[in-house]
Amino acid sequence: MAYSFEQHKIVGAIAADDDYWRGLEDGVFKLPRCDRCKTWTWPAHFRCGHCGSWDFEWVALEPKGKIFTWTRTQYAFDRVLERKEDVPYVTIVAEIPEANGARVMGLLKGDESGLRIGADVRGTIDPPSAKSKFYPSIRWNIER
């Protein structure tokens, strides 16, 4: 299967997270854990800084977390103009307890009530679209 994000690759950063995006396109939320020392490494990288291993296991997780922080964007910024008509929108950084508190970004889905640091969130996966630069994306719903 050809993945959408691979045809629209965002370059310039470390970009060791291809398996994260592949996972989301396949409908699975996965984060990387060192094969040898079992340290969660997020954002993904090419080598485990703890033990020196080059191998990671991408572990499928339930997309459950807690809001670590958030912002409501009130202006259409240059490189994310695809979302112009969605302004204002809320982006959440969620901590994933199952992955030693790895923090994963995603837009808020659904209504804003209960938006606060520490609130429980559950992720759903949106397929690639122009708004997410043809990448799949996790969206965080506030659990009430």
Partner 1 sequence: MSKFRGAAAIVGIGQTPYYKRATSPEPEVKLALRAITAAADDAGIDVRDINGFVSYASERSDPAKLMPALGTREVKFASLVWFHGGGLPATLNIATAAIMAGQADVVAVYRSMAESSSQRLRVIVAQNDTSSQYLVNGLDSPAQILALRAQRMMEFHGVPQSALYATVQASYYHAKNNPRAYGRNTEMSAEIYNNARMISEPYRLFDCSRENDAAGCVLVVSAERAKDLKQKPAYILSAPMGTMEGGGALEENWRPYYATAGQTELAERMWRESGYGPKDVDVAQIYMNMNSMGIGAMLDHGFFAMEDAGAFCTFDNLTAPSGKLPINTSGGDLGEGFIHGFGLVPEAVRQVRGTSPNQVPGAKLSLVTGGPGDLMSSTALLGSEETL
Rounded to whole angstroms, the Cα distance separating 81 from 87 reads 10
* Structure token pair of residue 143: 């659990």
By CB under 5 A, which span of 35-43, 79-87, 90-98, 130-138 interacts with Zn ion? 35-43
In the region spanning residues 3 to 42, those forming contacts with partner 1, defined by CB under 8 A, are 5, 10-15, 17, 21, 42
In a 3-state reduction of DSSP, which class is residue 25? helix
Rounded to whole angstroms, the Cα distance separating 119 from 125 reads 19
Kindly state the number of chain residues that form the binding site for partner 1, as judged by CB under 8 A: 40
Residue 48 lies near partner 1 (rule: CB under 8 A)? no
Q: What are the φ and ψ backbone dihedral angles of 89, each rounded to 5 degrees? A: -135, 155
Select the residue interacting with partner 1 from 7, 74, 85, 130 (CB under 8 A).
74
* Structure token pair of residue 91: 């982006």
In a 3-state reduction of DSSP, which class is residue 2? coil
Answer with the entry of partner 1, Zn ion, none that 51 interacts with (C-beta below 5 to 8 A by kind): Zn ion
Rounded to whole angstroms, the Cα distance separating 21 from 63 reads 14
Contact residues for Zn ion, defined by CB under 5 A: 34, 36-37, 39, 48, 50-51, 53
Residues that bind partner 1 (CB under 8 A): 5, 10-15, 17, 21, 42-43, 68-75, 77-80, 83, 86, 88-89, 91, 93, 102-103, 105-107, 116-117, 132-133, 135, 137
